[in-house]
Structures are given as structure tokens and as C-alpha cells.
Amino acid sequence: MDQLLQHALNAMILGGTYALLGIGLTLIFGIMRVVNFTHGELYAFGAYMMYMWVMLIGANFVLSIVLAVALGVVLGAAIEIVLLRRLRGADIDTTMLVMIGAWIAIQNTEQLVWSGVAKSINSPFPSAPLVVGAISVSWTRLFVFAVAVLLIAATYALIQWTRLGKAMRATFQDREAAALMGVRIDTVHTATFALGSGLAAAAGALLGPVFVVYPTIGDLASLKAFAIVILGGLGSIPGATIGGFILAFMEELGAGYISSGYRDAMGFLLIILILLVKPTGLFARKERIG
Amino acid sequence: MHTKTVKTASPSSCGRRVGSPPRASTTAAGLIAAGVLATALSTGSVAAQETIKIGVSQPLTGAFAASGNYVAQGARIAEDEINAAGGVLGKKIQLVIEDNKSNPTEAVATVEKLIVRDKVPVIMGAWSSTLTLAVMPKMQEYKVPLVVETSSSGKITTAGNPYVFRISPTSEMEAMSFRPLVAKLGIKKADFLNTNNDFGIGSATEFAKMLKAEGVQVGVLETMDPKANDFSAQLTRIKASGGDTLFVTTAVEQNTLILKQAKELQLKARIVTTGGSNSPDQLVTQAGDAANGSYHTVFFPPWFPEVVKNPDAAKRYMAEWKKRGHEPGGLTEGFRGYDGIFTAVEAIKVAGKAEPAAIKDALWKVKVPGVYGDIAFIKQGPAGSESGQNQPTVYLVKIDGGKVVKPEF
């Protein structure tokens, strides 16, 4: 029983960060239909910026997160303006190849700048865990979970209730009609990509102090994010959120009770099963072709 | 082999590498650049005739980048030390270091390139067991010997590949040298957590076998993906298993995370990391107080170099490492490259010529006073196609109070 509770708690915490990674990508991949291979690199970028602010400059921990996310937003906007803007209307393969190139370029730049040696980021929280009965959890992870939940809620509110959110939804439903209604299409594209990138950077900045930071950490993050988005249904924020938690519970319980060798396979097995029954993912909106 | 005087050759004299052929370009500037590059290429090959090339395949990028770069840095130190002492057979040596990107497919491509294009008579590589196992068939195909500097999977020297000469210990040797410590540490029940590849599985298998023979109960055997960074599920299960000792086998990044996460989950078991790629100094810096009380097997203890068989070689290597400003945490990894190059060069010297077949025969005769100890090869694997295996010493160190110390029993 204690073991089950501990597994459930681990999965909740892990699920929060998976969800954060997922919603960032679902905006870009699900709504913009850009197969964004740089998502994991934005995650790594956020983590490295966190390292720079906390460990090299010595800034306040919370302020560092804000700065790391802000820089992630700027990098995301730059990728959209420099690479994607001129590819608007290009077919999905061309865009995909450009994004693969960007992924490799960013990852190698990280290696050049920061070297391959892993960096660790000090957290201001006590290193002794919070213990309740037989289960325990680190304070840093609790903090990460709380911030992740907050960011997910804020993103949902932004898409659902603000003018920008409405413009985003309109643009990606029907670009021409939205343009005719006076929506600035270019701005919306840039804002969406920057927002998704900022969320990836936030996940990196939050998880950097939990894990260690090295140039290839983004690869795994990217893989999980794609899995979550496909599981939850393209473009659905609640889908990505719930998908993140489902993936975390599958991995945690699968590894805990079946076999840890198949930990990553568990998640993908579930995705195959769900896609067999519901090919659009759990929460996808109705597709509109044309 | 190891001479007393150490002079460092200037960095520009080493590491000359032939670039990829010029790409067709339509601009005039491109054509001029191509012309310049072609000139550079031809002068490069003239210079190459006066040197003996040694191929190196290491993971300089990707998941094992940190360790691969340390090994390459150690190899460069050996190169400069050998050249400062006059090289071998009257020629300078020249390392051609290729990045295998921590990827078995890329690793095969690097050795093929080194053999076919650079025509190296001997190669050192390829760090991880999986990478080494991937390149071994190519070595046999081209009949070029491979000096294995890091990999520990038993399969490497028992596969019946006569071109393989390993200076690092096998997992079995490591387990055997740990055997007397089982009673001293009072191990009654052990659990395992290892990376899901040839290295991790090989080590867990050998240690479990040895522990069972010592009458120790073996609890759970957990695995993790080499790229994974969250082990809460595995550690929760290990906690429930309740062993007194947890054997962990992976590279330094995952070791760091496991120490931290074990503390978060209040795992009481003593943690022992195996495999020698655990960089205890880096664990102290990065895992902080979570590293206290943990034990680590290493194949070179830079904290007390006086205990090794050839302290001169160790001190020379350490002094140069420090002088070059390399990461101190990499000392436990870089010596593998240093010893690997000395072993290859000694074989060239014994062979009297830089040809693969002669070097292969000569490797059986070498005796190198290295950091690993006195490097010499014994036969392992099926009769008739044995591989060479060195028998280095294994050391156990402990982290206590933020310092690496000799464990006291």
C-alpha cells in the first residue's frame, strides 16, 4: 500500500511536467501544424538559461525562472520569424526538414557553448524531503508541480478567454477568414510559436534543478511531448494535460509493478491501444479539411 | 616506453586533420576557397607520410559526450608525450579522432572511414560496450586491430574476434575483485539498478552471480533507459525490496541523479556504483550531500596515485591533465585514452612497422607500464580466435563528508 501511494505521488509530480511539455507542443504541432523538432531544444535551452542565471550570475531562483522563460519566448519568436515565416504555405515535409536542421544546430551549439559535461543547478529548497508516513517527496519537485499546474491553467485561460487566444483559435481554424476579419496572421503565428516555446523553456527551467543539464536532455523531452500530444489529440490543451498524466501513471505503475525494462514501452503501448480505438487521440476536435 | 622527460609539443603540431572534399560551388569565391582547400589537402597528405596515424573512435557528442571527450583528451596527452620523446620508429604519431556520436551506426562509419580513408593500422575505441560490439565485425573484416580502452561487457573478449585487445577490466574481473569486500561491508541482501545496455546488464549479471556465490540474497534487478532521468519508479520498488546494498551501473550523469533521487525517496540502502565511469569528484560536486556514504569502483584513483602500480605514469598523466586545465572530474576517465595510445604505440614499436597484421601480432607481446597497471594481454574466448584481455587492478573508494576517501573496514 505504501509502495502504491509512493508510485501514485511520483506519477502525479511527473505528470505535471509531462503536461507542461505537452501543452507547449500541442499549440505548435497541434494547432499550427508545424512538426516542431526544436521543442526539446527549447526545453534544454530553458534549463541552460536557468543554469546561467542561478549558477553563473547568481540571480534569485524564482527571478531566474522568469528570465529563462522570457529568453525561451524570445528564441521561439526568433525561430518563427527567421525560419517559419518564409515557409508559410510550404508543404509539411519542407518545414519538417528545416526544423530537423534547427534541432541539430541548436543542440550542437549547446554542446559548443556548455561542453558535454553535465551541469547541476542548486535549488534553494531544503535537500531533506517532505516525509508523510512511509512516503516522501522532495520540496523542489513539489514546487515544480505547483508552478506547472499554475502555468497550465494560465495557458488554458489565455487561449480560452483572451482576445489573443480567440485570434489564435480563429487563425488556425481558417486562416483566410481570420485575415478577412482583421486578425494579424503573422503576429498570431509568431505569438503561438513563442508561447509554445516559452512553455518548453519553462519545463526546462523547472526541471533543470531536479535533474542535471546536458546537451542531449531535449531529445527525451521531445519524444515524450510528441507522445503526449498524439495521445491527447492534436491541438487540445485538456487532452495534452490529461495525456501527460496518463503517460506518467502508465510509466510509473508499469515500471513499478510489471518491468522497469519496459518503462518507456508502456507509454507507447498505451498510445497504440488508444489510437486503435480512437484514431484522432482522446480529445481531438473535429477535423475540418479544406 | 614512458620516458622520464616530458615536453609538450605545441598543440598545432598535432591533430592535423584532413577535411572533407570541397563541395562544388557556383560562386567565384567558393571556387577560390575550394582551390585553397585543395592545396591544403595536398600539403596535408605530404605531411601525413612522415607520421604514423592512429585512429580513435570516441563519443564526442551525444549521451556519452562527457566521458568520450575525457578519453580523447587523455589520448592527446599521450600523443604529445610520445612525440616529445621522439615518436616511434623515427616518426611522429598522429591521432585521427573521429566522433561516433554515442551511436552504434555512427561508430561503424567512423572505423570504416579511419581504415579506408585514413589508412590507420590500429584503432582505439569505442568507449561504451554497445559501441565497441558494433565496430568489432568491421575490425575483423578489414583485419585491423582494436585497442579497447573502456568497455567492460564480457561479450567483447569472448565473441571470438582475434582483432580485439582490451586494456579495461571486464565486469567479471570487477565483480571478482569486489568479492573480498562483500563480507567486510556486511552485505546480506543486494538490489540492482542498471542501464539497459550491454554494459549495465553485463555488470549486473556478473555481480549478481558473484554475490549469490557468496551467499548474498539478490532482491530486485531494475533497469533504466540510458537516456532516462527519472528513476522514481525503480527506486520505489528497490525501497520496497529492502536490500541493504544497491548496486548501480551506468555513466556519471545517471549516477548523479540516482544518488539525488534515492535521497528524496529516503532509500536507506548503501549505494555502490560499478563500471569505473562514475567520476566520484563530479558526484561530490553535483549530487552534494546525497553522495555521502556511497561507494564506487574505479580503475584509477587520482586521490591517492601512490597506490597504483606505476605511480610515475599516473603522476605524469595527472600533471599534464592539470596543466591543460581539463576538468578534474575527468581524471578517472581520461587515463583510459592515455594508456590506450601508449599500448598501441608500444605494439607499433615491437612490430617494427606500422602495419595492421604486424601490430596485431605484436600486441600479444607488449608490456606497458601504464596507469591501468602493467598492461599485457592474456587470451580469452574460443580457442583459435582468442581476443586479448588485460588484467588491471580495481579500486573501491567511498564518498564521505564531501570527499573521496579510501574506505575503512
Q: Which residue in chain A is spatially nearest to B69 when comparing CA positions? A: A116
Residue B61 binned pLDDT confidence (cut-offs 50, 70, 90): confident
CB-nearest to B223 from A108, A253, A261 is: A261
Put simply, the answer to whether A117 touches B282 (Cβ < 8 Å) is: yes
Is the pLDDT score of B40 beyond 80? no
Q: Spell B168-178 as b/e; 16+ CB within 10 A means b.
A: bbbbbbbbebb
- pLDDT for the residue numbered B6: 43
Rounded to the nearest angstrom, the minimum Cα separation between A128 and chain B is 7
> For A9-22, what is each residue's pLDDT tens digit?
999 999 999 999 99
For an interface test with B, which of A106, A109, A113, A117 has the most B Cβ atoms less than 10 Å from its Cβ?
A117
- pLDDT for the residue numbered A162: 95
Indicate the average pLDDT of chain A: 90
- Any chain A CB within 8 A of the CB of B62? yes
Q: What φ, ψ does residue B295 adopt, rounded to 5°?
A: -115, 150
Question: Residue B325 burial (CB < 10 Å; 0-12/13-18/19+)?
Answer: exposed
Q: Where in chain B is the domain with CATH 3.40.50.2300?
A: 11-169+309-389, 171-298
- pLDDT for the residue numbered B125: 92
CB B265 within 8 A of CB B373: no
Is the pLDDT score of B72 beyond 70? yes
> For B1-25, what is each residue's pLDDT tens digit?
444 444 444 444 443 444 444 444 4
- pLDDT for the residue numbered B16: 41
Rounded to the nearest angstrom, the minimum Cα separation between A231 and chain B is 20
Q: Report d(CA B372, CA B71) in Å as an integer.
A: 14
Residue A43 binned pLDDT confidence (cut-offs 50, 70, 90): very high
Is the pLDDT score of B197 beyond 70? yes
Q: What φ, ψ does residue B143 adopt, rounded to 5°?
A: 55, 50
- Any chain A CB within 8 A of the CB of B380? no
Is the pLDDT score of A289 beyond 90? no
CB-nearest to B256 from A118, A131, A136 is: A118
Residue B62 binned pLDDT confidence (cut-offs 50, 70, 90): confident
> For B234-275, what is each residue's pLDDT tens digit?
999 999 999 999 999 998 889 999 999 999 999 999 999 999
- Any chain A CB within 8 A of the CB of B229? yes
- Any chain B CB within 8 A of the CB of A113? no
Put simply, the answer to whether A10 touches B222 (Cβ < 8 Å) is: no
Is the pLDDT score of B30 beyond 50? no
Mean pLDDT for the stretch of residues A146-163: 94
- pLDDT for the residue numbered B89: 95
> For A23-41, what is each residue's pLDDT tens digit?
999 999 877 888 899 999 9
Q: Report d(CA B148, CA B170) in Å as an integer.
A: 11
Put simply, the answer to whether B289 touches A127 (Cβ < 8 Å) is: yes
- pLDDT for the residue numbered A95: 92
**What distances in angstroms separate CA A25 from CA A124, A224, A227, A233, B370, one per listed residue?**
29, 10, 10, 11, 51
Put simply, the answer to whether A117 touches B66 (Cβ < 8 Å) is: yes
Put simply, the answer to whether B264 touches A14 (Cβ < 8 Å) is: no
Q: Which residue in chain A is spatially nearest to B329 when comparing CA positions? A: A117
Q: Which residues of B touch A138 (CB under 8 A)?
A: 264
Mean pLDDT for the stretch of residues B350-365: 96
Put simply, the answer to whether B266 touches A131 (Cβ < 8 Å) is: yes
Q: Report d(CA B264, CA B273) in Å as an integer.
A: 18
Put simply, the answer to whether B63 touches A216 (Cβ < 8 Å) is: yes
Q: Is the CATH number of domain A2-277 1.10.3470? A: yes
Mean pLDDT for the stretch of residues B172-194: 95
Rounded to the nearest angstrom, the minimum Cα separation between A122 and chain B is 9
Instruction: Provide the 10 A C-beta neighbour count for residue A2.
Output: 12
Put simply, the answer to whether B62 touches A216 (Cβ < 8 Å) is: yes
Q: Which residues of B touch A253 (CB under 8 A)?
A: 233
- Domain range summary for chain A, segments of one domain joined by +: 2-277
**What distances in angstroms separate CA A100 from CA A35, A94, A203, B351, B401, one per listed residue?**
9, 10, 21, 47, 46
Query: Which of the listed ranges A261-265, B198-202, B342-346 does the model predict with the highest average pLDDT?
Result: B342-346
Q: Report d(CA A159, CA A152) in Å as an integer.
A: 11
Query: Please, which residues 209-228 of chain B have a Cβ atom closer than 8 Å to chain A?
Result: 222-225, 227-228
- pLDDT for the residue numbered A262: 85
Q: Report d(CA B364, CA B353) in Å as an integer.
A: 15
Q: Is the CATH number of domain B171-298 3.10.20.740? A: no
DSSP β-ladder status, B146-148 and B164-166: parallel
Indicate the average pLDDT of chain B: 88
- pLDDT for the residue numbered B317: 97
Q: What is the predicted ipTM?
A: 0.86
User: What DSSP assignment string belongs to B162-180?
Assistant: TTEEE-SPPHHHHHHHHHH
Q: Which fold has domain B11-169+309-389?
A: Rossmann fold (3.40.50)
Q: Which residues of A touch B250 (CB under 8 A)?
A: none
CA angle B373, B379, B382 (to 5 degrees): 150
